[in-house]
Amino acid sequence: MPRPFTLFTGQWADLPLEQVCSYAADFGYDGLELACWGDHFEVDKALADPGYLASRHALLAKYGLKCWAVSNHLVGQAVCDSIIDERHQAILPSRIWGDGDPEGVRRRAAREMADTARAAAAFGVRTVVGFTGSSIWHLVAMFPPVPERMVERGYEDFAERWNPVLDVFDAEGVRFAHEVHPSEIAYDYWSTQRALEAIGHRSAFGLNFDPSHFVWQDLDPVGFLYDFRDRIYHVDCKEARTRLDGRNGRLGSHLPWGDPRRGWDFVSAGHGDVPWEDVFRMLRSIGYEGPVSVEWEDAGMDRLAGAPEALTHLKRFDFDPPGAAFDAAFGGGGG
């Protein structure tokens, strides 16, 4: 049976939610992965206004849409980041930023992530997607030389800050799906393994699979799916394309998205290097039954063209498995 396809609203938060609902329905999506910014899913209102969640459900129903996950990447980023600066001020609600004192920002962000679990549970959604931040991402170049103890402290800091949040997720029956992503505590294969070890492999913490981040790091997204198959709590379909030509570098050279001098860029699904058919076959093999969410990002294509095209492209690979083994007809024959 075909799985539901949703549109992640994070790149559409400049528009009112009703407008995004209208677009998504017209494009043929089954639902939305609601971002916790813009007016799409406001955690404080969800917990304070008795009618707020009912209004979200009514709006989705008006357009024949459903929601299986909410996402709070922006606040989650501030929970562990060691450097809190104007970048965070630009993406955080003012109530989280406060006076900008870094430790105060981290603590308020952690409380907001716990509240996100409460709001999601009240909304009837059992998956929250997001980032964790990282106190050691700035050490990735390993110079000046980084003592192993500094790295160990980074994973300890992650566990200390996130375990109390995950206690709330457990209490609410909600799971956190961390997006494996550069600048986070888990950004590749081995850092994912180490992050899971840091929190004792507790079930409240799993993964949001987004293969675009694997492409430019030269990681195998399909093998990752298999090895972490018990932790794949959500899937975002975003694409990346590399152009490593001897001048364009993997680290991006501080160049903006879409600049032809970049070594890689995000592109709309179907225009990059993700092996989508292999990804979908592996999702079926590991028994992933959740939604597939299109996260549309492409600096060179209008989203009103890219979002419906991405959906059409990805649905090609969501074919039903056979009802019987293809070689079943070879046996039990006559004379």
Give the DSSP H or E segment for 21. Answer: helix 17-27
69 assigned to some structural domain: yes
CA–CA dist 9, 291 (Å, integer): 14
Where would I find the beta strands (DSSP E) of 9-61? 31-35
325 assigned to some structural domain: no
Q: Which residue has the tokens 């070689």?
A: 327
CA–CA dist 306, 296 (Å, integer): 7
pTM above 0.85, yes or no: yes
Q: What is the pLDDT of residue 321?
A: 82
Q: Give the domain CATH number at 90.
A: 3.20.20.150
CA–CA dist 183, 78 (Å, integer): 11
Nearest Cα residue to 210 out of 243, 183, 185, 188: 188
149 assigned to some structural domain: yes
Q: What angle do CA 239, 244, 249 make, to 5 degrees?
A: 100
325: how many CB neighbours lie within 10 A of its CB?
9
Q: Which residues pair with 33 in a beta bridge?
A: 8, 69
Q: What is the residue range of 161's domain?
A: 5-319
333 assigned to some structural domain: no
Q: What angle do CA 183, 115, 81 make, to 5 degrees?
A: 20
Residue type, 262: R
Q: What is the pLDDT of residue 172?
A: 98
76 assigned to some structural domain: yes
30 assigned to some structural domain: yes
Q: What is the pLDDT of residue 324?
A: 79
Q: What is the pLDDT of residue 69?
A: 98
303: how many CB neighbours lie within 10 A of its CB?
17
Q: Which residue has the tokens 């070890």?
A: 197
329 assigned to some structural domain: no
CA–CA dist 274, 226 (Å, integer): 16
Q: What is the pLDDT of residue 260?
A: 96
324 assigned to some structural domain: no
Q: What is the pLDDT of residue 218?
A: 97
Q: For the chain, which ranges sit under pLDDT 70?
A: 1, 326, 331-335
CA–CA dist 213, 219 (Å, integer): 9
Q: What is the pLDDT of residue 2?
A: 77
Count of structural domains within the chain:
1
